[in-house]
Amino acid sequence: MSDICIVYDRVRWEEKCLCEKAIKLGHTSKMIDAKTLAISTFDGNTSHNFGDIVLQRCISHYRGLYLTACLEFLGSNVINAYSTAEICGNKLLTSVYLSRHRIPTPVTQFAFGPDVAGEVGDEMGYPLVLKPIVGSWGRMIIPIKDKDVMDSIIEMREEMSNPLNKIYYLQDYVNRPPRDIRTIVVDDRVVTAIYRYSPEGEWRTNISRGGKAELCPITNELEDICMKTSKAVGSGILGIDLMEDKEKGLVVHEVNNTVEFKGASTVSEKDIAAEIVNYASKMAM
């Protein structure tokens, strides 16, 4: 039996569910609000008790990432590891890792200045999709229909203070059905897969934007691509997003580091929380 620590910055359905499941399965479990933590380089491992294993569940990418670095410094086992969190929390790094491991992914280009971003856009052709390299829930993912819109968005982003907005992540608009696929992958295995259908008047399929979940069969092809993706980013507990490209077949477009599974739980026959807790307990040994 393990002592499982869940660190969070806002308690969602998932964090409650994981804590209750851990206790139900005979482990001890506690929740720690990351916003209350201060860690010193002289701490050793004395002033905090993070149990045998930490499930890092912060909504804020940066808080979760740097807290993971500190917890690893203190000698804690953290899921996911810092290196995985760094890759998955950043779409540019994710695309680089996917391509390096020859995992099918949409054609994506990165541009590091406004003029070259415009040139790359013209060369790729419209429509295309512009994404912030750090972000989630479909926020600021923009379908760009033509050059005029592209130029206006570049002008706007150059005025923004966040330096990440000056790095342009441009992706082919994938010709897909009005749905995508989310798989929940634990320890390099697909626990469950769902289709996410975009709601009326919305092109993005995120559940947080009203997308509807439906069970998706786990084919050998889906299992294989997800296993390779998981290994490419360093394994752990992952939410892999894929699209069914009408020309190229399955393509991976994102890997989520702190996966939400409320939507998937409504349609899956699997006990997702139990799979996560069992994996955490195994990694605590």
Q: Name the residues that contact ligand ADP, by CB under 6 A.
A: 106, 129, 131, 135-139, 141, 171-174, 176, 180, 204-206, 241, 253-254
Which does residue 15 bind out of Mg ion, ligand ADP, none, counting CB within 5 to 8 angstroms by kind? none
Q: Which stretch binds Mg ion (CB under 5 A): 120-128, 145-153, 187-195, 240-248?
A: 240-248
- For the bound state, the minimum distance from the C-beta of residue 194 to Mg ion, rounded and expressed in Å, comes to 12
Report the half-sphere exposure of 124 (CA within 13 A, side-chain side): 28
66 binds, among ligand ADP, Mg ion, none (CB under 5 to 8 A by kind): none
Task: Report, in Å, the least distance between residue 71 CB and ligand ADP.
Answer: 24
State the alpha helices, DSSP H only, in 54-110: 61-73, 82-88, 91-100
* Cβ pair 84, 233 in contact under 8 A: yes
Residue 171 touches which of Mg ion, ligand ADP, none (CB < 5 to 8 A by kind)?
A: ligand ADP
Would you count residue 254 as binding Mg ion (CB under 5 A)? yes
Q: Cβ closer to ligand ADP: 4 or 65? A: 65
Say which entry of ligand ADP, Mg ion, none residue 174 contacts (CB below 5 to 8 A, set by partner kind): ligand ADP
Q: Compare residues 7 and 194 and give the one whose CB is closer to ligand ADP.
A: 194
**Minimal distance in Å, beta carbon 30 to Mg ion?**
30
180 binds Mg ion (CB under 5 A): no
Task: Count the residues in the chain.
Answer: 285
> Which residue's entry shows tokens 């206790």?
23
Is 260 a residue that touches Mg ion (CB under 5 A)? Answer: no
Q: Which residues of 197-212 are buried (b: 16+ CB within 10 A; e: fewer)?
A: bbbeeeebbbbebebb
Determine the interface stretch with Mg ion among 29-37, 163-171, 195-203, 235-243 (rule: CB under 5 A). 235-243
Closest CB 75 distance from Mg ion, rounded Å: 33
Give Cα separations from 18 to 15, 47, 261 (angstroms): 5, 25, 11
Contact present, 242 and 219 (Cβ < 8 Å):
no
Pick from 279, 79, 103, 282: nearest CA to 187: 279
The three-class DSSP label of residue 79 is: strand
Read off φ and ψ for residue 55, nearest 5 degrees. -95, 110
Structure-block tokens of residue 170: 């441009």
Count of residues interacting with Mg ion (CB under 5 A): 2
- The tally of CA atoms less than 13 A away on the side-chain side of residue 255 is 35
Nearer to ligand ADP, 139 or 231 (CB): 139
Among 151, 202, 241, 244, binds Mg ion (CB under 5 A): 241
Nearer to ligand ADP, 30 or 248 (CB): 248
Residues that bind Mg ion (CB under 5 A): 241, 254
